[in-house]
């Protein structure tokens, strides 16, 4: 690791105040998770409809 | 990912260079191998290692037509050929060629020595029949792929006990390059394996879609939320960390870091962490898979593709699990065709890799249009999808398509010739795997990472990985692959 990295080490950064979750981040998390679960359910149904020959 | 590639300065270089080099080298090896199918055996001299008790019989050229070279001659020829090609590659990458050549010579020697040791019968032999053949009453049953783990351990010892030596080697320590070359070659191997059972192969491909959904939509959002909400990481740290844990490690962390305009050292530290955890996973998960999932080989394969981060480590774990599970089943009288577990792990991983560019673009769009909008940052351009697309995937697809076309047009007499030709390329794939294992070990200096404050990052990784990534991966792999078995021999 470079000296630059050591000077900007993570320990010091973590001492900074926590950034609150923005509405767009909440949307990203919610939509990703929701869409993921729906798509997985569809894929499970498809895999049951078209089983491995 | 190489140590060189992990420096902030290096991260500013175009990542495509190493990807394209992997395509050129991997594709060249594939074409040279295919030449033997048409009557000109150009790379039959590549060295292979058999399970041995007499060291003088351990090494041999891959093709009988090069038998006059002998084992030592084949090893030397393989080393010289790889040194020449990869040194030229290092030149293209802008590396110090002299340092690369010196480092590569040592890396190759230690890696291949590990492979030879791993093929020693008392370590490698699995079945009672083979034990009898070698006159052994017991063996560790690691299969000859245990050599991968020995190479990894040798690398770890160098990184943690001899850091100056590791620093001297660093120009040649390029696990991402080695594994990308191996993946390009693997495309042809998977195609020939799949050609015989197209129904099963296409089903495996379809089920690869589930891996994309799981990695990008489910894992990413949960890890990001966890890192932001409960561990207090800033957006700049949480996004690359979520990508590193969820998608495919180093490439994803670097792409995400670039997409959200994070400082280069963020991707550096996250990538280092990914490598360390990948090492731990490779050492443990294939054996867990063999113990608990040997009755469901493709569940094990998909699970490893989803749970083990970094392409190299995932394919390595798939390769070890392939050998372990096929051997265990063989000892119980079930003789699966080898290669299907590795092929399934690789398919899952390749599916996940393909979407890195698109995911990076989505994140770039959100960050530039909503999160960094107030700072007046540049908006994401559509060309970033191509810019961040892992180009070595194109090489994989090309070798897969060509080998599949040849296999589907081959008759019963010529198919074994094609398999033998691809087999020669596959020997190179194994050598690049060994180099990957060794290189991953050399990059894993645990003490240095801890000093840099990685404890809390590691905590997120640990909680995410062992808290839900491997369990959710197991459940979803089970949903899609339970009951799907590799074809039997014959």
Q: Which residues of B touch A22 (CB under 8 A)?
A: 370-371
pLDDT of residue A4: 40
Residue B333 reports pLDDT greater than 90: no
Cβ-defined contact of B232 to A18 (cutoff 8 Å): yes
Q: Do A43 and B7 touch (CB under 8 A)?
A: no
Phi-psi region of B41 (alpha: psi -120 to 50; beta: other; left: phi over 0): beta
Q: Which two tokens stand for residue B302?
A: 């998909």
B chain contacts of residue A48, beta-carbon cutoff 8 Å: none
* Inter-residue contact B183 to B346 (CB < 8 Å): yes
Q: Between these two residues, B376 and B411, which has the higher pLDDT value?
A: B411
Among B206, B221, B476, the residue to mutate for chain A (most A Cβ within 10 A): B221
- The residue of chain A with its CA nearest to that of B206 is A47
pLDDT of res. B319: 86
Q: What is the CA radius of gyration of chain B?
A: 22
Cβ of residue A49 closer than 8 Å to a chain B Cβ: no
The mean per-residue pLDDT over the stretch B62-81 comes to: 96
Average pLDDT over residues B163-168: 94
> Best mutation site among B12, B194, B206, B228 for testing chain A: the one with the most A CBs within 10 Å?
B228
Work out the pLDDT band at B87, boundaries 50, 70, 90.
very high
Average pLDDT over residues B345-356: 80
The pLDDT-based confidence of B458 (bands split at 50, 70, 90) is: confident
Q: What is the DSSP letter of A15?
A: T
Comparing CB atoms, the residue among A6, A8, A39 nearest residue B213 is A39
Match 């017991």 to its residue by tokens. B138
Distance CA B343, CA B339 (A): 6
Hey, where are the domains in chain B? 4-481
Question: B residues 366-405 near A, CB within 8 Å?
Answer: 366, 370-371
Q: Evaluate if residue B72 carries a pLDDT over 60.
A: yes
Is any Cβ of chain B less than 8 angstroms from the Cβ of A45? Answer: no
pLDDT score, position B389: 67
Q: Which residues between 252 and 311 in chain B have a beta carbon less than 8 angstroms from any beta carbon of chain A?
A: 263, 265, 268-269
Tell me: pLDDT of B154 over 90. Answer: yes
Please report which confidence band the pLDDT of residue B315 belongs to, taking 50, 70 and 90 as the band edges.
confident
- Contact of B225 with chain A, judged by CB distance below 8 Å, is answered with yes
Q: What is the pLDDT of residue B265?
A: 67
Question: What's the rounded Cα separation, in Å, for the pair B82 and A13?
Answer: 44
In which band, very low, low, confident or very high, does the pLDDT at B16 lie, cut at 50, 70 and 90? low
pLDDT score at B197: 63
Query: What's the pLDDT score for residue B9?
Result: 45
Mean of pLDDT values over B134-151: 80
pLDDT in tens, B215-260: 889 999 999 999 999 988 889 989 999 998 888 776 788 778 877 8
As a whole-number percent, the residues of chain B with pLDDT over 70 amount to 88
Whole-number pLDDT of residue B490 = 67
What ipTM was reported for this prediction? 0.86
pLDDT digits 0-9 by tens, A1-53: 333 433 445 667 766 777 889 999 999 999 999 999 999 999 888 888 877 65
Residue B147 has pLDDT above 60, yes or no: yes
Residue A48 has a pLDDT of 83
Q: Give residue B11's pLDDT.
A: 47
Q: Model confidence over B89-99: pLDDT tens digits?
A: 999 998 999 99
Q: Quick one: pLDDT band at residue B63, thresholds 50, 70, 90?
A: very high
Instruction: For residue A49, give how far its alpha carbon lies from the nearest alpha carbon of chain B (Å).
Output: 12
Q: Which residue has the higher pLDDT, A15 or B414?
A: B414
Chain A residues in contact with B220 (beta carbon < 8 A) = 32
Comparing B192-201, B269-278, B455-464, the range with the smallest average pLDDT is B192-201
From the list B203, B268, B448, the residue facing A52 with the nearest CB is B203
Q: Which helix (H) or strand (E) holds A27?
A: helix A23-49
Q: What is the pLDDT of residues B353-406, one digit of tens each?
A: 777 777 888 888 888 888 876 555 566 666 766 776 677 878 888 998 999 899
Across chain B, mean pLDDT equals: 85
3-class DSSP assignment, residue A18: coil
User: What's the pLDDT score for residue B366?
Assistant: 87
Task: Among B128-142, B337-351, B422-436, name the most confident range.
Answer: B422-436
pLDDT at residue number A47: 82
Interface residue A47 vs chain B (CB under 8 A): yes
> What percentage of chain B reaches a pLDDT higher than 90?
39
3-state secondary structure chain B: CCCHHHCHHHHCCCCHHHHHHHHHHHHHHHHHHHHHHCCCCCCCCCEEECCECCHHHCEEECCHHHHHHHHHHHHHHHHHHHHHHHHHHHHHHCCCHHHHHHHHHHHHHHHHHHHHHHCEHHHHCCCHHHHHHCCCCCCCCCCCCHHHHHHHHHHHHHHHHCHHHHHHHHHHCCHHHHHHHHHHHHHHHHHHHHHCCHHHHHHHHHHHHHHHHHHHHHHHHHHHHHHHHHCCCCHHHHHHHHHHHHCCCHHHHHHHHHHCCCCHHHHHHHHHHHHHHHHHHHHHHHHHHHHHHCCCHHHHHHHHHHHCCCHHHHHHHHHHHHHHHHHHHHHCCCCECCCHHHHHHHHHHHHHHHCHHHHHHHHHHHHHHHHCHHHCCCCCCCHHHHHHCCCHHHHHHHHHHHHHHHHHHCCCCCHHHHHHHHHHHHHHHHHHHHHHHHHHHHCCCHHHHHHCCCHHHHHHHHHHHHHHHHHHHHHHHHHHHCCCCCCECC
Higher pLDDT, B302 or B370: B302
Nearest CA in chain B to A11: B453
Q: What is the pLDDT of residue A7?
A: 40
Which pLDDT band holds residue B132 (cuts at 50, 70, 90)? confident
CA B262 and chain centroid, separation: 26
Taking contacts as CB-CB distances below 8 angstroms, the residues of chain A near B452 are: 1, 5-6, 9-10
Least confident range of B318-322, B435-439, B444-448, B477-481: B444-448
Q: What's residue B232's pLDDT?
A: 87
């Amino acid at each position: 690791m470079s000296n630059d990295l050591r000077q900007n080490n993570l320990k010091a950064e973590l001492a900074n105040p926590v950034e609150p979750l923005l509405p767009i981040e909440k949307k990203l998390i919610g939509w990703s998770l929701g869409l993921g679960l729906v798509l997985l359910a569809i894929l499970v149904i498809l895999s049951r409809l078209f089983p491995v020959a | 990912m190489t140590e060189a590639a992990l420096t902030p300065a290096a991260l500013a270089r175009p990542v495509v260079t190493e990807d394209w080099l992997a395509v050129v080298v991997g594709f060249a090896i594939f074409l040279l191998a295919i030449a033997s199918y048409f009557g000109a055996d150009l790379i039959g001299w590549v060295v292979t290692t058999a399970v041995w008790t007499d060291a003088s019989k351990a090494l041999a050229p891959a093709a009988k037509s090069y038998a006059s070279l002998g084992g030592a001659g084949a090893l030397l020829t393989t080393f010289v050929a790889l040194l020449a090609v990869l040194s030229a590659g290092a030149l293209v990458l802008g590396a110090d060629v002299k340092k690369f050549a010196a480092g590569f010579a040592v890396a190759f020697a230690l890696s291949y020595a590990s492979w030879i040791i791993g093929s020693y019968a008392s370590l490698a032999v699995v079945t009672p029949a083979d034990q009898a053949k070698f006159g052994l009453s017991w063996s560790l049953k690691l299969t000859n792929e245990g050599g991968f783990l020995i190479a990894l351990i040798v690398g770890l010892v160098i990184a943690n006990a001899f850091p100056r030596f590791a620093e001297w080697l660093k120009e040649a320590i390029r696990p991402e390059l080695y594994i990308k070359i191996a993946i390009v070659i693997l495309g042809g191997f998977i195609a020939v394996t799949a050609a015989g059972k197209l129904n099963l192969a296409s089903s495996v491909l379809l089920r690869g879609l589930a891996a994309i959904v799981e990695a990008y939509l489910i894992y990413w959002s949960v890890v990001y939320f966890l890192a932001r909400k409960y561990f207090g990481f800033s957006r700049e740290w949480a996004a690359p960390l979520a990508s590193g844990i969820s998608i495919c490690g180093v490439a994803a962390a670097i792409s995400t870091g670039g997409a959200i305009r994070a400082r280069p050292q963020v991707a550096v530290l996250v990538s280092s962490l990914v490598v360390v955890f990948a090492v731990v996973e490779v050492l443990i998960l294939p054996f867990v898979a063999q113990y608990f999932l040997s009755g469901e080989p493709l569940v094990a394969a998909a699970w490893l593709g989803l749970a083990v981060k970094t392409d190299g480590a995932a394919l390595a774990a798939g390769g070890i699990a392939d050998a372990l599970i096929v051997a265990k089943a063989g000892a119980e009288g079930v003789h699966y065709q080898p290669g299907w577990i590795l092929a399934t792990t690789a398919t899952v991983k390749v599916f996940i890799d393909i979407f890195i560019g698109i995911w990076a673009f989505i994140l770039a769009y959100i960050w530039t249009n909503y999160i960094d909008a107030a700072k007046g940052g540049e908006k994401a351009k559509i060309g970033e999808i191509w810019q961040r697309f892992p180009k070595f995937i194109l090489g994989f697809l090309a070798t897969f398509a060509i080998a599949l076309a040849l296999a589907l047009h081959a008759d019963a007499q010529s198919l074994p010739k094609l398999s033998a030709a691809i087999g020669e390329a596959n020997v190179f794939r194994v050598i690049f795997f060994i180099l990957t294992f060794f290189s991953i070990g050399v990059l894993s200096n645990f003490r240095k990472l801890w000093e840099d404050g990685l404890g809390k990052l590691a905590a997120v990784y640990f909680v995410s990985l062992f808290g839900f990534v491997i369990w959710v991966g197991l459940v979803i792999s089970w949903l899609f692959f339970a009951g799907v078995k590799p074809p039997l021999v014959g």
